[in-house]
Every structure is written in C-alpha cells, then in structure tokens.
C-alpha cells in the first residue's frame, strides 16, 4: 500500500533478520502510520541496498522526504553499519550514504531496537517514563536504553546489545561467533531451538504435528500454538523459555534500575501467554526482592511496527537538525 502524495512525510524501515517492514508517516503525526508494506530481508550488502530501495519506492513512489533505517547491529555515529550477527554478508557498510545516494533522499540510520525505543518512549508504552529499557524479542534480541529522558547510544553509538550478553559459555553457538549469548535462549529463534530440542527428545508430539510431523521444523510459533491449545509439554518448554527471558531482564534491572521494561518484537505478539509468565518470573531473579519496587513489564504499544515508526521519527528529526558548521 503506497502513501498518498500530499503532506510532508517520512519513510521508516525496520530491517530484521528475516523481513523488512516499512511504513510511511505524516510529519505532523509521526506515530500514525498511513501506509505500510514488507519484504523478505535480502542476503548480502548489495542485495540489501536494492531491497531497501525497492521497499521505499513501493511505499512512497516519487517521494522526496527523509528515510530512516533501523538495522539490527552496530551503527556508528556516521551511519556506518559495522556489524550485525543476523545480517550475514553485511559489514562496514556506509548505509546512510549509500542508500541516500541511491534514493536521492536524506537518509538516517540507527540500531533497530534503538529506533523502536524512540517510538515507544515518545508516544507508546514507555511514554511518561524518564528511565527505562526496551527489549525486542525477534530473530535475536535488541535493546534500547533511556536514562534521564534521553535515548543513550554510548561512546561509539553501540549501546543496546543485550542479546549478546554472555550467559552460558558452553551454550549453543551464536551467529556473532561466540557461544551462549542470551538471544540463543530468549529470542524467537531461541524458543524454536528449545522446542526442537524437546521434540527431538520425543516430548512434543502435539507441537511436531503442528510442524508437519518434522521435529526439525518446529518453530516458536508452533510451541505457542500448542500452549494456547492446552498442551502440557509445550507449556513446560515455554516455562523454560520464560526463565531465560526473565534471567536477562533481571540482570538488566540490577544494572540499570529502570522505571519500566517495554517488550516488543515478534515474540511478544503472543502477549496473552507470555507476558503474565514473564511478569511472574522476573521478580524472583532480581536483587533484593521485597526491598525495592517491582518494575512494571509492559508490551510495546506499537507492536512489530515500533522499529519502523521510530526510524521514521529519526528521519524527520535528522532532516530538521541544522547542518554541522565547519571551522
């Protein structure tokens, strides 16, 4: 669906490990989506740039407004994509410059979860909180940090990579090249891995049926569907998954003392079965339970659109920022 060609608008694209979601917003109401579409995420730098250009043209044909890109990985202060575990074949890509030249439009880039943080803490579930954390549970785990009302990027622009906190040095390999990263257990792909392990051990007949009879085909959504249908073994797998999610959240609470934790990403689309379990599991793992306020854990207001909306907000604000004057 393309946007109508009238008021000033911006395009925001959330680039995930498996799909790209693009939206168009009106500059006067930047958290209101007026058009959206999605494409599978291409593999490799050249194909990724082609895919972004195709998505922008499909959303906003002939437009000239700014474009924001939310990318899963390390984006430095010069809009250079340095590294991302879930985007194989893309490294040290000056994505802002390359895509901007290709489109002939202003382009700004930031980490995808940081973009989601802009959206949620300005007009979504985190609005009104001056200190908080956003976590996106998808193919991997991204994060954004708000302190004193400001989104924090760190010294090099790389802050907000909780999915690669090391929690089990003997754990499964991670696409980042290490072993036992938190996202191997607590992301959507982590839930799928836990489900496949249980299925291969012969414990998830109902889930395997949903996966077409192949244990190797079990994914996180099959586990969720079986839990909703009342399957006991699937519920045990989900409880294990929730324990890992809660362990990471508790570590972040101990480190950052947030006022709120906002959960987004594809996994939290199963809010009905996940959020109550996570809310119940986190306090048991937080330091000094009973001697500190319980941190509210809430679902992202904008759901899977949060990263794309935040990228559009980033694009608008970057376009309005006065250019840096040389000396």
- pLDDT, position 1: 58
Q: pTM above the 0.85 mark?
A: yes
Give Cα separations from 52 to 62, 67, 103, 268 (angstroms). 15, 10, 9, 25
Q: Which letter does DSSP use for residue 240 in this model?
A: H
- Tell me if residue 216 falls in helix, strand or coil: helix
Say how many C-beta atoms besides its own lie within 10 A of residue 203's C-beta.
Answer: 15
Query: pLDDT tens digits, residue range 245-288?
Result: 999 999 999 999 999 999 998 888 899 999 999 999 999 999 99
CB-based burial label for 84 (10 Å; 0-12, 13-18, 19+): buried
Hey, what are 287's tokens? 């330091």
- pLDDT, position 326: 42
Give Cα separations from 240 to 7, 165, 237, 278, 301 (angstroms). 49, 18, 5, 11, 26
- pLDDT, position 7: 52
Q: Cα–Cα distance between 138 and 17 in angstroms, integer?
A: 8
Q: Which letter does DSSP use for residue 157 in this model?
A: S
Do the Cβ atoms of 26 and 310 come closer than 8 Å?
no
DSSP states along 81-139: EEE-TTSTT--SB-HHHHHHHHHTS-EEEEEHHHHHHHHHHHHSTTTT-SSEEEEEESS
Q: Residue for token digits 């007026």?
A: 34
Alpha helices (runs of H) in the chain, residue ranges in sequence order: 45-59, 95-103, 112-123, 183-186, 188-200, 205-210, 220-228, 232-256, 271-281, 306-320
Hey, what are 135's tokens? 């976590």
The stretches in the chain having pLDDT less than 50 are 5-6, 324-327
């Amino acid at each position: 669906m393309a946007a109508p060609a009238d008021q000033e608008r911006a395009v925001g694209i959330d680039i995930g490990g498996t799909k790209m979601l693009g939206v168009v917003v009106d500059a006067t109401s930047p958290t209101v989506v007026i058009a959206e579409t999605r494409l599978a995420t291409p593999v490799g730098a050249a194909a990724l740039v082609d895919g972004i250009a195709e998505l922008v043209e499909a959303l906003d044909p002939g437009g000239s407004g700014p474009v924001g890109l939310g990318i899963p990985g390390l984006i430095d202060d010069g809009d250079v994509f340095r590294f991302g575990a879930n985007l194989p074949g893309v490294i040290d890509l000056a994505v802002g410059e390359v895509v901007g030249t290709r489109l002939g439009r202003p382009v700004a880039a930031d980490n995808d979860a940081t973009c989601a943080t802009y959206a949620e803490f300005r007009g979504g579930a985190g609005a009104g909180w001056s200190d908080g954390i956003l976590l996106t549970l998808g193919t991997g785990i991204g994060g954004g940090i708000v302190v004193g009302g400001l989104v924090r990027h760190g010294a090099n622009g790389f802050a907000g990579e909780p999915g690669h906190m090391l929690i089990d040095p003997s754990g499964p390999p991670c696409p980042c090249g290490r072993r036992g990263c938190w996202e191997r257990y607590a992301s959507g792909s982590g839930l799928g891995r836990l489900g496949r392990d249980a299925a291969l051990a012969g414990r998830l007949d109902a889930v395997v049926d949903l996966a077409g009879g192949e244990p190797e085909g079990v994914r996180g959504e099959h586990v969720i569907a079986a839990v909703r249908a009342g399957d006991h073994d699937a519920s045990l797998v989900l409880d294990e998954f929730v324990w890992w999610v809660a362990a990471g959240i508790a570590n972040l609470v101990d480190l950052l003392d947030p006022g709120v934790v906002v959960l987004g990403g594809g996994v939290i689309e199963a809010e009905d079965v996940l959020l109550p379990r996570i809310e119940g599991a986190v306090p048991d793992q937080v330091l000094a339970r009973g001697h500190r306020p319980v941190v509210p854990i809430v679902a992202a207001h904008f759901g899977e659109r949060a990263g794309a909306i935040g990228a559009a907000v980033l694009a608008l604000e970057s376009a309005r920022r006065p250019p840096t004057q040389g000396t």
